[in-house]
Amino acid sequence: MKFIETIKNIFKIEELRKRLVYTFILVLVYRFGCYVVLPGIDASMIAGLQNSAQEGLVGLLNMFSGGAFGNASIFALGVMPYISASIIIQLLGVFVPYFKKLQMEGESGRKKMNQMTRVLTILVICIQGPAYMASVHNQIPSAAFVAVNQLGWSNFMFNLVSTLVLMAGSMFVMWLGERITDRGIGNGISLIIMIGIVARLPFALAAEFTKKLSTTNGGFLLLIVEVIFWYFVIAAAIALVQAVRRVPVQYAKRVVGNRQFGGVRQYIPLKINAAGVMPIIFAQALMLFPLLFSRWDATRGLAATLSNYTGFWYNLIFFIFVVIFTYFYTAVTVNPTMMAEDMKRNGGFIPGVKPGKKTVEYLDSVMSKVTFPGSIALALISILPALAIIMGVDNSFASFFGGTSLLILVGVVLDTLQQVESYLLMRHYDGLMKTGRLSGRSGM
């Protein structure tokens, strides 16, 4: 079989084999840490925290941390502080001239921005750590805090030590991600998030399988229909991640001595979904605001309507938010002016379009047009979990029908397979796919 032959070829390449083993070991270390409970907490009494970490933004944080958030683990905050810091630095690169200059400095500027991101990560942890500990105190009984009850610690001292442990855990997870990126396979931070999502998949499948088998009215047939529909949803997500609009760029000939260079046509791949999963994350955060108005009788009914995960108004507003944030995040991450300057610097131009301002306007117009279908497709995928729940799918399995879980899973798997395939093709082995080369989120 071709699959078995491909696996043999992978392990024939010594460098690739070492990278895969190194990645696997670091992933095991991360998964082990997700079950190590914070010192001073009785692990047998955290059921309340686990139950609360299933829906909303808390459920999203729990998913990103691979369940560590609901386990009161030393890795509870996971990579979320680093992701938050990275988003802030990216936004500063749009609005602050100093950060714009760093982006233009190449490798040296990138190193400075990475260092700033690490420092900002620590500041974010100083905010998220105490907030998480407040949630822990609210969700689990006071008898679970062994350090306070038996060792005589004050709540302030316990929270301070726990925050420092959470800080060390998050920085260690970030270090694991960087080591995987440098010496392993794939983007380390993204891979760690994906492992946390995949870890929940077997339990979700088992829960759905048990639920359908307990149904007497064609439960097994419904399960087959769900799996088939899930397959088509995954195919649609792969198409959304890989889809690009190619803009032709003609490079003028350059004469150096007696030799001619250039004169060829290349393409700029503009992604249909350049924003990735960030619009869904932003929209989910905003959809938590109606809960703030549930305290007052006058707004309690409206808050309940707008916070109903499977309700019409919740999903309509959520759909609109995803479309809006897709355009916003695309505008932040894709800079037509910089693309036009790079083309001009390298002697390139778009056929039929004047260099300079006209090229910027053309690229911006094309990006706006291709972003529209991408934003609609992303919004549809984001509300599929709610539709799956309405159709009777178990809540834990419904999250894999779309939204953040599915898009991260598909995107990271494609990126990792693309790196593996590059090693195979470099050593003159067949690629992973018969139909052609893989293309992940990193481009063509």
pLDDT at position 285, please? 67
Write the pLDDT tens digit of every residue in 355-404. 888 888 888 888 888 999 999 999 998 888 888 888 888 877 887 887 77
How high does pLDDT run on average in the chain? 81
Confidence of residue 286 (pLDDT cuts 50, 70, 90): confident
| N- to C-terminal Cα separation, the chain | 28
Q: Where are the domains of the chain?
A: 1-185, 204-444
More confident call, 255 vs 269: 269
CA dihedral 79, 82, 86, 87 (to 10 degrees): 70
Average of pLDDT values for 228-232? 89
Per DSSP, the three-state class of 348 is strand
- Is residue 4's pLDDT more than 80? no
pLDDT at position 293, please? 65
pLDDT at position 430, please? 60
pLDDT at position 278, please? 77
pLDDT at position 313, please? 85
Does an H or E element contain 269, and which? strand 265-271
- CATH assignment, 1-185: 1.10.3370.10
204-444, what's its fold? Preprotein translocase SecY subunit (1.10.3370)
Closest by CA position to 232, among listed 431, 388, 376? 388
Any residues with CB less than 8 A from the CB of 114 and at least 6 apart, and which?
none
Strand partners, 359: none
Q: What percent of the chain has pLDDT over 70?
A: 85
Write the pLDDT tens digit of every residue in 149-162. 887 888 889 899 99
Confidence of residue 443 (pLDDT cuts 50, 70, 90): very low
Each as own residue / partner, the long-range contacts of residues 208-216 (CB below 8 Å, 24 or more positions apart, any chain) are: 208/393, 208/394, 208/396, 208/397, 211/394
Write the pLDDT tens digit of every residue in 12-37. 888 888 999 999 999 999 999 988 88
Confidence of residue 269 (pLDDT cuts 50, 70, 90): confident
- Is residue 439's pLDDT more than 60? no
pLDDT at position 176, please? 92
